[in-house]
Chains A and B, each alone.
Chain A
Amino acid sequence: NAGVTQTPKFRVLKTGQSMTLLCAQDMNHEYMYWYRQDPGMGLRLIHYSVGEGTTAKGEVPDGYNVSRLKKQNFLLGLESAAPSQTSVYFCASSRGWNTEAFFGQGTRLTVV
């Protein structure tokens, strides 16, 4: 039982490049979330999903897109990376709105 797995763990992008971050959970959770965390700051919610085929915007959605085609996977896409998107990205999942959320170990993304 791996929990929440994020791929990749580290990545360096050039400005303007695109990439997709993958979050996979094996707990059959309905809810999934993507966050970013900048140095010395708290987590900010980018997008979230309350079930397969659904997505919704969080606090800082601009510059990102997401998809939840399969229940166990939540993909975060950057179409044209910018240096301001340099951050640590965390994915989480939970069974419902009122249950504990489990987090992945993070993806460190640097955009140069």
Chain B
Amino acid sequence: DAKTTQPTSMDCAEGRAANLPCNHSTISGNEYVYWYRQIHSQGPQYIIHGLKNNETNEMASLIITEDRKSSTLILPHATLRDTAVYYCIVRTQGGSEKLVFGKGTKLTVNP
């Protein structure tokens, strides 16, 4: 699986959009980008995933650059409950039965 690079921490004001970047410059054509988050002491929670098209669900939007070397997770109206560690993961079939987490980005939403 391609490796990912994320900032260690970010801050965001409540009610504003939170844009969390992820670099995956070695990603290959059949690798998917996944996002999970972990709110303090809880089990991680799936957010969204995509291959090359932008994706949106009730939680967030995922924007993948045309060259697929980076992506951005967007929380459109961050709330205090969105304070968590956000993990960007790249997975591919046939060798990616493992689900391996990196260090993630600690997002703090401030009042």
**Which chain A residues have a beta carbon within 8 Å of chain B's beta carbons?**
4, 31, 33, 35, 41-45, 48, 50, 56, 58-59, 88, 90, 92, 94, 97-98, 100-106
**A40 to chain B: closest CB distance in Å?**
10
Judge if B58 is at the interface, Cβ distance under 8 Å: no
**Is the pair A101, B41 in contact by a Cβ cutoff of 8 Å?**
no
**Is the pair B100, A104 in contact by a Cβ cutoff of 8 Å?**
no
* B91 contacts across to A, CB distance below 8 A: 97-98
**Is the pair B99, A106 in contact by a Cβ cutoff of 8 Å?**
no
**A70 to chain B: closest CB distance in Å?**
19
Task: For chain B, give the interface size range.
Answer: 20 to 34
Query: Chain A: interface secondary structure?
Result: strand
> A45 with B43: in contact, given A97-B91, A98-B32 (CB under 8 Å)?
no
* A42 contacts across to B, CB distance below 8 A: 85, 87, 101-104
**Is the pair A97, B93 in contact by a Cβ cutoff of 8 Å?**
yes
**Which chain B residues have a beta carbon within 8 Å of chain A's beta carbons?**
32, 36, 38, 41-46, 49, 85, 87, 91, 93, 96-104
**Pick from B41, B43, B97, B102: contact of A92, CB under 8 Å:** B43
**Is the pair B100, A105 in contact by a Cβ cutoff of 8 Å?**
no
**Pick from B36, B43, B85, B104: contact of A104, CB under 8 Å:** B43
Closest 4 CB pairs between A and B? A103-B43, A100-B46, A43-B101, A42-B103
